[in-house]
């Protein structure tokens, strides 16, 4: 399975240093990838992983160091330079045009390709058969599943002749079956001599598919080792600098009375189609109700309806026994409903405000920060420093605009602000997406602490492992409806995966979905 140490070197990065204001993102980093090798790149949020691969992809330029491609020193000044060499990157958020066909998306931005559409379609079909990436070249991308769209991204890079593929969190929105298939594709690519750089926070994925592993911490390499010489615990310690304690779920006490209910709720999406269809669920105090599903099946609309950000077209929303249907978000907040949105910068934070200001958005009207209508800046900064320390928000300065933080630290700011308000109900949409193992462990512990304190949590996640650990019950959404439900303690991963793909098997769900 492992690439031989005698295999030719595809790319060698030596002494790479990249600086941003107030932080060194990469500090004399070395990285080697050989033909036929799958190298995992691990690290905490802000460790420098994305910066390093963005340098390789031509998006950033290093201040120091050199890059050699097949033994020749090169300057990669743009993504086009990277593509000409044979370096391709598949981003976590796909760069496809839904209204275009697969062929049209593959050819998008390629100047002077000179081939007829039929010839390109035939080539894509051949590549699909060769690498197990079957997809109809003439299908419109908007009609494809998330897993099929990812195949389009991979096919595009293969069509362009990529010999080194960079995959950034490639399983974030896939079903278990799609993830397993992707690993098979990655190994097939390695078997054909491609090099692969895999960025992921999921250590089981690393142990399943990687040959070698490079770990970054604070911009420096803390370890470069073979997969068969390590384990998940050792890798986690290399990433964070100490052993992790692990999350102890503990005994689950019986949940209390319902604190939040959706009754026969339907709502429209931004595009005007029905995103939720007659959805009924009940969340009880001291419980976690998990919502699983592939992205785009109504999760976003569910979170917005549940927090008052989107008005339902039909049905009722009951919070603490009161009908809040159609009420504005402020009424939901005063009723104890707080929201961790999936769009951190778009709806979760004020990008232009400083870190400490974002941390305090929920408490400006309260003492000691608010003193008889006047803002005490010293008290506000002190309160923000305490929250940043408790939630391990890593920022060069709390005076920076929040938009300069890494994705994981943006999420920590949102979580710190919402959880510090002691919610009765927490609507948590993908709360650990993009977080490193230590931050994920912290969030899981905080959610479980809230559950034990009587908080009801509506946990929307595409990570089945997360739902199986934290939730009492799991509902699977497919096209805005509950296609299946199960107790988390007895859930079958394969069955959940089938439900996520829209395949009805097992016991049919009831209409009264209760945590």
pLDDT of amino acid 109: 74
pLDDT of amino acid 2: 54
Residue 114 pLDDT exceeds 80: no
Residue 512 pLDDT exceeds 70: no
Residue 491 pLDDT exceeds 90: yes
pLDDT tens-place string over residues 118-156: 899 999 999 999 998 989 999 999 888 778 888 999 999
Reading the block at residue 331, the tokens are: 């009424």
Helix 176-191 with 146-159: angle, nearest 10 deg: 10
The correct answer on CATH 1.10.30.50 for the domain covering 258-514 is: no
pLDDT of amino acid 474: 96
The mean per-residue pLDDT over the stretch 61-74 comes to: 96
Q: CATH topology of 9-240 equal to that of 258-514?
A: yes
Cα distances (Å, whole numbers) of residue 427 to 269, 289, 298, 447, 512 = 19, 10, 14, 11, 19
pLDDT of amino acid 388: 93
Cα distances (Å, whole numbers) of residue 191 to 184, 195, 243 = 10, 9, 35
Q: How confident is the model at residue 510 (pLDDT cuts 50, 70, 90)?
A: very low
Q: Which has more confidence, 294 or 339?
A: 339
Please tell me the pTM assigned to this model: 0.74
Q: For the chain, how many helices (H) and strands (E)? A: 16, 23
Query: What's the mean pLDDT when you consider all of the chain?
Result: 89
**CA angle at residue 176 from 171 to 180, to 5 degrees?**
75
End-to-end CA distance of the chain: 44
- Report helix, strand or coil for 176: helix
Query: CA-CA distance, 27 to 20, in Å (whole number)?
Result: 11
Encode 294-312 in three state secondary structure: CCCCCHHHHHHHHCCCCCC
Query: CA-CA distance, 6 to 4, in Å (whole number)?
Result: 5
Q: How confident is the model at residue 284 (pLDDT cuts 50, 70, 90)?
A: very high
pLDDT tens-place string over residues 15-61: 999 998 778 999 999 999 999 999 999 998 778 998 999 999 999 99
To 10 degrees, the CA torsion angle through 184, 189, 190, 194?
-160
Q: How confident is the model at residue 246 (pLDDT cuts 50, 70, 90)?
A: low
pLDDT of amino acid 262: 97
The mean per-residue pLDDT over the stretch 403-431 comes to: 87
Domain-wise residue ranges, the chain: 9-240, 258-514
The mean per-residue pLDDT over the stretch 404-417 comes to: 84
pLDDT tens-place string over residues 432-476: 877 778 878 888 988 998 999 999 999 999 888 899 999 999 999
pLDDT of amino acid 271: 77
Residue 76 pLDDT exceeds 50: yes
Cα distances (Å, whole numbers) of residue 288 to 140, 297, 465, 490 = 38, 20, 14, 15
- Report helix, strand or coil for 268: strand
pLDDT of amino acid 344: 79
- Report helix, strand or coil for 89: strand
CATH superfamily label, 9-240: P-loop containing nucleotide triphosphate hydrolases (3.40.50.300)
The residue among 387, 395, 459 whose CA lies nearest residue 418 is 387
pLDDT of amino acid 506: 61
pLDDT of amino acid 6: 74
What are the start-end ranges of the H helices in 394-508? 407-419, 437-452, 464-470, 493-500
pLDDT of amino acid 23: 81
pLDDT of amino acid 349: 92
The mean per-residue pLDDT over the stretch 227-254 comes to: 81
pLDDT tens-place string over residues 311-354: 999 999 999 999 999 999 999 999 999 999 887 777 889 999 99
Query: CA-CA distance, 16 to 281, in Å (whole number)?
Result: 52
pLDDT of amino acid 116: 83
pLDDT of amino acid 504: 81
Q: How confident is the model at residue 508 (pLDDT cuts 50, 70, 90)?
A: very low
Task: Fill in the DSSP letter of residue 110.
Answer: -
Q: How many CB atoms lie within 10 A of CB 398?
A: 19
Residue 509 pLDDT exceeds 50: no
Query: CA-CA distance, 53 to 165, in Å (whole number)?
Result: 10
The mean per-residue pLDDT over the stretch 179-191 comes to: 91
């Amino acid at each position: 399975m492992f690439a031989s140490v005698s295999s030719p070197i595809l790319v060698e990065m030596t002494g790479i240093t990249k600086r941003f204001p107030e932080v060194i993102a990469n500090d004399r980093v070395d990285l080697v990838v050989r033909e036929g090798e799958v190298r995992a790149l691990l690290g905490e949020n802000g460790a420098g992983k994305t910066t390093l691969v963005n340098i390789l992809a031509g998006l950033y330029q290093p201040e120091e160091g050199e890059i050699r491609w097949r033994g020749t020193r090169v300057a990669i000044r743009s993504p086009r330079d990277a593509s000409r060499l044979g370096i391709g990157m598949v981003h976590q958020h796909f760069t496809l045009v839904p209204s275009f066909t697969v062929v049209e998306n593959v050819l998008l931005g390629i100047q002077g390709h000179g081939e007829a559409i039929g010839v390109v379609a035939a080539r894509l079909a051949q590549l699909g058969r060769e690498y197990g990436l079957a997809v109809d070249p003439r299908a419109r991308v908007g009609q494809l599943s998330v897993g099929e769209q990812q195949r389009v991204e991979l096919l595009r890079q293969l069509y362009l002749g990529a010999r080194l593929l960079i995959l950034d969190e490639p399983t974030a929105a896939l079903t278990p079956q799609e993830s397993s298939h992707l690993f098979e594709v990655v190994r097939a690519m390695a078997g054909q001599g491609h090099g692969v750089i895999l960025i992921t926070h999921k250590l089981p994925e690393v142990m399943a598919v990687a040959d070698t592993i490079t770990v970054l911490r604070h911009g420096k390499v803390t370890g470069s080792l073979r997969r068969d010489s390590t384990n998940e615990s050792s890798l986690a310690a290399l990433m964070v600098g100490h052993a992790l304690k692990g999350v102890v779920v503990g005994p689950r006490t019986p949940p209390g009375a319902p604190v939040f209910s959706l009754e026969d709720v339907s709502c429209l999406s931004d595009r005007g189609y029905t995103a939720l269809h007659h959805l009924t669920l009940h969340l009880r105090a001291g419980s976690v109700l998990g919502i699983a599903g592939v992205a785009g099946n109504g999760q976003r609309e569910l979170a917005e309806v549940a927090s008052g950000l989107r008005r339902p077209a039909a049905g009722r929303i009951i919070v603490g026994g009161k009908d809040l249907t159609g009420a504005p978000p402020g009424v939901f907040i005063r009723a104890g409903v707080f929201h961790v949105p999936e769009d951190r910068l778009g709806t979760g934070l004020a990008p232009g405000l400083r870190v400490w200001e974002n941390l305090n958005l929920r408490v400006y009207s309260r003492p000691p920060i608010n003193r008889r209508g006047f803002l005490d800046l010293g008290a506000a900064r002190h309160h923000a420093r305490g929250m940043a320390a408790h939630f391990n928000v890593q920022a060069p300065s709390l005076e920076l605009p929040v938009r300069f933080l890494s994705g994981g630290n943006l999420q920590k700011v949102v979580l710190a602000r919402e959880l510090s308000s002691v919610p009765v109900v927490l609507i948590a949409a993908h709360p650990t997406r993009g977080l490193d193992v230590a931050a994920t462990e912290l969030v899981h512990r905080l959610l479980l602490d809230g559950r034990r304190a009587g908080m009801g949590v509506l946990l929307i996640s595409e990570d089945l492992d997360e739902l199986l650990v934290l939730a009492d019950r799991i509902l699977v959404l497919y096209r805005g409806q509950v296609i299946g439900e199960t107790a988390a303690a007895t859930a079958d991963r394969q069955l959940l995966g089938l439900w996520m793909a829209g395949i009805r098997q097992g016991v049919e769900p009831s209409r009264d979905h209760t945590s």
